[in-house]
Amino acid sequence: MLKILVVGGSSAIAHEAARHFAADGGSLFLVDIDAEKLDAVAADLRTRGAAKVETHVLDVTAIDQHQAMLDAAIASLDGLDAVLIAYGTLGKQEESQADVSVALREMNINLISVIALLTIVANHFEAQKRGCIAAISSVAGDRGRQSNYVYGTAKAGVSAFMQGLRNRLAKSGVSVVTIKPGMVDTPMTAHMKKTPLFSKPHVVGKAIYDGMRQGRGVVYAPWYWRFVMLIIRNIPEPIFKRMSL
Amino acid sequence: MHSANVTKRYESWGRYPKPEHAAVEHMRWCHDPPDFATLDHTVLPFGYGRSYGDSCLNNGGILLDITELRRLIDFDAEKGIIRCEAGITLAELLDFIVPHGWFLPVTPGTKFISIGGAIANDVHGKNHHVDGTFGCHVTQFELLRSSGEHLICSPQENSELYRATIGGLGLTGIITWAEFTLKPILSAYVDMERIRFGNLEEFFALADESAEDYIYTVGWLDCLSQGKNFGRGLYTRGNHHDPPLDAVINDIQAKPKITLPIDFPNFAINTLTVKAFNEVYYRSQLSKIIRGVVHYDPFFYPLDVANDWNRLYGKRGFMQYQCVVPYKDSLEPIKEIIRRIGVSGQGSPLVVFKIFGDVESPGMLSFPRPGVTLALDFPNNGQRTLTLLEDLDRIVRESGGAKYPAKDAHMSFESFEISYPNWQEFAQHIDPMFSSSFWRRMMAGREQIC
Ligand SMILES: Cc1cc2nc3c(=O)[nH]c(=O)nc-3n(C[C@H](O)[C@H](O)[C@H](O)COP(=O)(O)OP(=O)(O)OC[C@H]3O[C@@H](n4cnc5c(N)ncnc54)[C@H](O)[C@@H]3O)c2cc1C
Ligand SMILES: NC(=O)c1ccc[n+]([C@@H]2O[C@H](COP(=O)([O-])OP(=O)(O)OC[C@H]3O[C@@H](n4cnc5c(N)ncnc54)[C@H](OP(=O)(O)O)[C@@H]3O)[C@@H](O)[C@H]2O)c1
């Protein structure tokens, strides 16, 4: 059964994906910033059939501790088949606009730390010549919009980085799966008014599970966001710049 | 519908009365409660709003949505004991336990309710005469009080709070997680029989005859027919199906091989004013008795296929009416209630009818008790409806019966007091920060007592 490292393991979306791996009898190594939340998620996954669930507390911005965490995961699971990177923060755009340090902090969590992590994971899987690397990016990275372009920039960076990795690792038999959810009803969006465009985390979780198992390239979740974003990307810039999106 | 896709609005299922909440807070983790010290309103936990009246509302106050507490904590597949967070739905639990060969100990007529709601209303099902209420199967739970205390409550530990919280209408604190025992099953199917009865005496004879051999029993009564058809209806009884030896447990979720049409309640809603409907319905079952093997879903949850059916009643909403009335000494009170409903022409044509047994619940304010219970819908026609319901309540009071708060938006304090003579004992366990529209309605003018 699969041995999976989930960084951002208590995220609402990641938990839904992990439930499927647990029901299959997989083993999971969960990393997140809060020990109590990790314990609650771990208990759920164990109860649902995971062969093993270990937890590990880490603030992902402590990049110097990434390698130790990865080593711990490999040691604990006795190998590694897949990694899912699912943490993130959705800071307020206005705050990022007003204060550079806020914007940089957002970039640090949502992009820089992800690049750092992806680099060591990619090297590990490239050497072992198999594995699946999945990271949750966002449709927000498909086109910069005034409402969240700082977050969007980080996600665009993640998508581009993953694209490059996919290209590099194809020959090593490693699949690289970029997940691009639309808006999802999770703690991250608790402050936002829920419109019919919002999806439930279990829908996105299932799409992640399917995408990882099939080794797909880019997974929009739910699928229709692929078409929504196709349209949004193709709006000519002179028109787009006047829209309030 | 996917089990995790439950519609939820911050209103009650009857959509009457219409609340205005000061705020809705979310609790996402058992260890991370709201900061009570900063709240300047009273609080009430809220599950999926499947209570009909105002017991799940806190008009002017804060609702605490607990439905994100939906993680499993532990499961003993040998003994059939599960521990889970209180916001998980029965639907999600069934998805998990049925393939392991276990079923809910007790289930109401919808699976889109939370475990917290099941405990707070001490819900009952078709097996009340054998297994009692949901609360009878709860081995322990954690109760979070506004003082910040996390208390484990069980028959041994904090036993008074345990008894107050089962059926405690959400007023004693937040149930964060609960542990309860399950019922072993060999398949996901139910052996079901549906029998026509011509009058109430026949119903009671059927109930007597079925009590020993059938775990699940319920009647549907046509309350519009008077005269020689008075008290006619259909009686349903069933047991979990034992598959033949070659059936494998993996097959437990597969689609039913034989299906029976048991979709009547949808009709009932759409044809409120059509008297002829009952004739059709009753006659539609030509033979006196039909048998079949049905999946648990249509057997227990016929209404769940129609999402949001409560909205068919329109903006003004509707009222459910459920009471229990003793019948051993005299059938007169229950007959009188049915007669009144029939004559008024206001109620839904079908009335759910069931005998409660004498399995006692630990809950102080538990509704079920020995007698016959009756439940039906009334579209909200304002004062006319309220007057009729008060008439019925009077008969219930005089017979020594009781009303069900989970389905109430109108009962008087007098009815409440007669139904729950130990309410003052209960009231001592209410958390000072907790309140509900229902509770304030009952206590209006009585604050000094508790
Ligand atoms: C179609 C249908 C059929 C039904 N059939 C039956 C039946 O056969 N038998 C029966 O008994 N009932 C039945 N009911 C009623 C229903 O089972 C109860 O009202 C149930 O309590 C609803 O649960 P909920 O999760 O929606 O809770 P809500 O309605 O949101 O809340 C119910 C109560 O539980 C409290 N509560 C919720 N969560 C917690 C928590 N975590 N901690 C403390 N308190 C909490 C609330 O404060 C409130 O007082 C039926 C309802 C419908 C819509
Ligand atoms: N929700 C959406 O609409 C949406 C849309 C597109 C993409 N996404 C992406 O989906 C992923 C999952 O998000 P979600 O919606 O499931 O939200 P979530 O439940 O809030 O999950 C985010 C997780 O990241 C953790 N985290 C934050 N900062 C961290 C840090 N420095 N170190 C370690 N962990 C940290 C959070 O921990 P704490 O909560 O304890 O701080 C939380 O567990 C994110 O990458 C998000 O950007 C979400």
Determine the Cα–Cα distance for residues A114 and A165; give it in Å rounded to an integer.
Answer: 13
Q: Which residue of B has its CA nearest to A11?
A: B28
Number of domains in chain A: 1
- Name residues contacting ligand 1 (CB within 6 A): B 13, 44-51, 55-56, 66, 86, 108-110, 113-114, 116-118, 120-121, 123-125, 169-170, 174-175, 303, 406
> Is A40 in contact with B71 (Cβ distance < 8 A)?
yes
Determine the Cα–Cα distance for residues A92 and A83; give it in Å rounded to an integer.
Answer: 28
Residue B289: what pLDDT? Answer: 85
Q: What does residue B205 show for φ and ψ, rounded to 5 degrees?
A: -65, -45
Say which of B4, B5, B30 has its CB closest to residue A40: B30
Q: Which residues of A fall within a CB distance of 8 Å from B8? A: none
Q: Which residues of B fall within a CB distance of 8 Å from A24? A: none
Residues of A with CB under 8 A from a CB of B: 36-37, 40-41, 43-44, 47-48, 187, 190, 200, 202
- The interface pTM score, or ipTM, of the predicted complex is 0.95
Determine the Cα–Cα distance for residues A140 and A221; give it in Å rounded to an integer.
Answer: 13
Atom 42, ligand 2: which residue's CA is nearest? A11
Q: Which residues of chain B have a pLDDT value below 70?
A: 1-2, 244-287, 447-450
> Is A36 in contact with B32 (Cβ distance < 8 A)?
yes
Q: Is A89 within the bounds of a domain?
A: yes
pLDDT in tens, A86-111: 999 999 999 999 999 999 999 999 99
Q: Which residues of A fall within a CB distance of 8 Å from B72? A: 43-44, 47-48
Q: What does residue B212 show for φ and ψ, rounded to 5 degrees?
A: -80, -40
Q: Is A9 within the bounds of a domain?
A: yes
Residue B279: what pLDDT? Answer: 58
Structure tokens at B290: 């039909």
How many residue pairs bridge chain A and chain B with CB atoms within 8 Å of each other? 30
| Ligand 2 centroid to residue A203 C-alpha, Å | 16
Determine the Cα–Cα distance for residues B358 and B124; give it in Å rounded to an integer.
Answer: 13
User: In what helix (H) or strand (E) does residue B295 lie, and over which residues does it extend?
Assistant: strand B289-295
**Selecting from 3.40.50.720, 3.30.70.2520, 3.40.640.10, 3.30.750.210, what CATH number does the domain B189-412 have?**
3.30.70.2520
Predicted structure pTM score = 0.94
Atom 44, ligand 1: which residue's CA is nearest? B170
User: Could you say which DSSP state residue B360 is in?
Assistant: P
Residue A1: what pLDDT? Answer: 84
Q: Ligand 2 in contact with A85 (CB < 6 A)?
A: no
Residue B308: what pLDDT? Answer: 78
In sequence order, the β-bridge partners of residue B292 are B192
Q: Is A65 within the bounds of a domain?
A: yes
Q: Please give the biggest Cα pair distance in chain B.
A: 66
First to last CA, chain A: 44
> Is A43 in contact with B32 (Cβ distance < 8 A)?
no
Determine the Cα–Cα distance for residues B351 and B56; give it in Å rounded to an integer.
Answer: 24
∠ Cα B58 B59 B60 (to 5°): 110
CATH classification of the domain holding A112: 3.40.50.720
Residue B283: what pLDDT? Answer: 62
Is the sign of the CA dihedral B111, B112, B114, B119 positive or negative?
negative
Q: Is A58 within the bounds of a domain?
A: yes
Residue B41: what pLDDT? Answer: 97
Residue B227: what pLDDT? Answer: 85
User: Could you say which DSSP state residue B27 is in?
Assistant: -
> Is B32 in contact with A41 (Cβ distance < 8 A)?
no
Say which of B28, B31, B73 has its CB closest to residue A47: B73
Determine the Cα–Cα distance for residues B447 and B121; give it in Å rounded to an integer.
Answer: 23
DSSP alpha helices (H): ranges in B189-331? 200-210, 264-270, 276-284, 296-300
Query: Tokens 């069933």 map to which residue?
Result: B238
Determine the Cα–Cα distance for residues B68 and A204; give it in Å rounded to an integer.
Answer: 16
Q: Which residues of chain A have a pLDDT value below 50?
A: none
Q: Which residues of A fall within a CB distance of 8 Å from B85? A: 40
Determine the Cα–Cα distance for residues B34 and A52; give it in Å rounded to an integer.
Answer: 32
Q: Is A245 within the bounds of a domain?
A: no
Determine the Cα–Cα distance for residues A86 and B233; give it in Å rounded to an integer.
Answer: 56
Provide the b/e sequence for A227-238 (b: ≥16 CB within 10 Å).
eebeebeeeeee
Q: What is the 3-state secondary structure of chain A?
A: CCEEEEECCCCHHHHHHHHHHHHCCCEEEEEECCHHHHHHHHHHHHHCCCCEEEEEECCCCCHHHHHHHHHHHHHHHCCCCEEEECCCCCCCHHHHHHCHHHHHHHHHHHHHHHHHHHHHHHHHHHHHCCEEEEEECCHHHCCCCCCCHHHHHHHHHHHHHHHHHHHHHHHHCEEEEEEEECCECCHHHCCCCCCCCCECHHHHHHHHHHHHHHCCCEEEECCCHHHHHHHHHCCCHHHHCCCCC
Determine the Cα–Cα distance for residues B374 and B359; give it in Å rounded to an integer.
Answer: 18
- What residues contact residue B215 under an 8 Å CB cut-off, 6+ apart? B126, B127, B130, B131, B238, B239, B240
Q: What does residue B119 show for φ and ψ, rounded to 5 degrees?
A: -80, -45
Q: What range defines the domain where residue A201 resides?
A: 3-240
Query: How are beta strands A218-221 and A174-181 bridged, if at all?
Result: parallel
Residue B448: what pLDDT? Answer: 54
Structure tokens at B249: 């447990």
> In which order are the strands placed within the sheet that holds A131-136?
A52-57, A27-32, A3-7, A82-85, A131-136, A174-181, A218-221
Task: Give B131-182 as a DSSP string.
Answer: H--GGGGEEEEEEE-TTS-EEEESSSSSHHHHHHHTT-TT-S-EEEEEEEE-
Q: By C-alpha distance, which of A76, A6, A74 is closest to A41?
A: A6
| Whole-Å CA distances, B251 to A214, B82, B260, B292, B301 | 26, 22, 20, 18, 20
CA B248 to the chain's CA centroid: 32
User: In what helix (H) or strand (E) does residue B183 lie, and over which residues does it extend?
Assistant: strand B183-184
Crossing angle (nearest 10°) for helices A149-169 and A113-128: 10
